[in-house]
A and B are shown apart, each in its own frame.
Chain A
Amino acid sequence: MSEIVFEHVTHRYDGDEVLTDVSLALTERRIGIVGANGSGKSTLARLINGLVHPTAGRVLVDGLDVARNGREVRRRVGFVFTNPDNQIVMPTVREDVAFSLRRFKLDATDAAARVHRTLERFGLTELADRPAHRLSGGQKQLLALAAVLVAEPAVLVADEPTTLLDARNADLVERHFAALDEQVILVTHRLESVESFDRVLVVEEGRIVADAAPADALSAYRSLLR
């Protein structure tokens, strides 16, 4: 597993402190992050991929400072967004998955084989030549996941990947997440999604207010909601 370290990380946005002095070391295979809207949990996730940089402190992924080694870190850390429409770049399913490999300059045969394997892994082979914008919400999110994982990152960060999906599609996407070999950091509002995880962080007003096994962390979060 990769080691993700937050060293006294503070992040300010438009003068507001979104995260305050967060220090963590994340090494578990399944890590959940829960919290209310605006609590800072998405910012915490974005810091791992270098989509935002700390105002103070630093984030390290396997010893690499995310702010200084963004490219290298993004090879190790994939990111799935809430809205897959924003993540899909190419017109068809196959092309969008293949697009992620362009930066690696792979041999065409190797790239095609990797794309084929990934499409199969996510049950997208039948849809390979379909226009991506005509897929269902669940299929689009699976495509977004496939497009990230074809690049074989060690860590997958997902920011509320099921929020825009109906219950059936959310279950479908979560089943795929559960089956992943990669280290997963999942930001979610669906508390049942992280019940079987190794560790859950509860974020409230920019601070980690609970950091424990799911039972204890979720109980702390539920008491905050009351």
Chain B
Amino acid sequence: MIGVYRPGRSPLHRVGAGWKLGGLAASVIAVALLPEWWMLLTALCVAAAGFAIAGIGPRVAFAQLVPVLWILAIAAPLNALFSGWESALVMALRVATFVGLAALVTLTTRVSAMLDAIRTALRPFGDRIDPERVGIVLAMTIRAVPLMAEIVTTVLDARRARGAEGSLRAVAVPVVVRSLQTADAMGEALVARGFDD
């Protein structure tokens, strides 16, 4: 869901991070208010056009949606069962558009540019909120995605190697323990890099 920045020179790449984050917030509100499935389909097409403008191929664009597809695969039929197919379609299109728009921003914006934009936006609240700290939290969150994926893959491999495929505990416990250890180590590394206040 959080795409890693893809370098490029498209018009979307050149738009400032602050504008893109503001635009994303406004679009998400607008999409949330669209009542009809055909309006949401149009919004999804606009997001798809954004990928084309940014020079991001359909394979990469579709890969951004893959993590939510399994959620939609469960939620949409349930929604259709209780509220009808139109409601399910509205929900599925809305979620897909949200994810597409967010991915479009993260794929065309460096995290460092987002940190600068957040720092600028939070400057008026500097006496109550530390903008640098908020930025680091955002960076760490994005960094945690591939790191967590790696931990889960390693633990699943270990579970298979030990013949414990059916055990949920054999996944949950080591994933939690390794995640906490990694968080500890990353905290220590941040201190070592001078981000210790």
Contacts and interface: CB of A to CB of B under 8 A. Distances in A.
A91 B142 contact: yes
A78 B139 CA distance: 21
B10 interface: no
Contact of A89 (B139, B146, B197): B139
Given A92-B4, A99-B139, A81 B189 contact: yes
Interface string B101-142: 000000000111001000000000000000010001001101
A23 interface: no
A79 B146 CA distance: 24
Nearest to A147: B193
B138 to A, nearest CB: 11
A100 interface: yes
A86 B186 contact: yes
A131 B146 contact: yes
B189 A103 contact: no
Interface stretch (A67-75, A191-199, A215-223): A67-75
A49 interface: yes
A85 interface: yes
Given A81-B189, A83-B185, A147-B193, A90 B139 contact: yes
A131 B182 CA distance: 19
Given A88-B143, A89-B140, A133-B150, A100 B189 contact: no
Nearest to B183: A86
Interface residues of B, number: 29
Q: B interface, by DSSP: helix, strand, loop or mixed?
A: helix
B62 interface: no
A91 B193 contact: no
Given A89-B143, A129-B7, A71 B196 contact: yes
Given A98-B112, A129-B7, A90 B194 contact: no
A111 to B, nearest CB: 10
Contacts of B36: none
Contact of A74 (B115, B143, B185, B194): B194
A98 B143 CA distance: 15
B4 A131 contact: yes
Given A86-B182, A89-B140, A95 B110 contact: yes
Contact of A95 (B112, B186, B193): B112
Given A98-B112, A131-B4, A89 B186 contact: yes
A79 B7 CA distance: 30
Given A90-B139, A91-B111, A129-B7, A79 B194 contact: no
Contact of B4 (A49, A75, A91): A91
Interface of A: 49-51, 70-71, 74-75, 78-79, 81, 83, 85-92, 95, 98-100, 102-103, 129, 131, 133, 147-148, 151
Given A78-B192, A87-B192, A89-B193, 8 more contacts: A49-B192, A71-B197, A74-B191, A81-B188, A86-B189, A91-B4, A91-B111, A92-B111
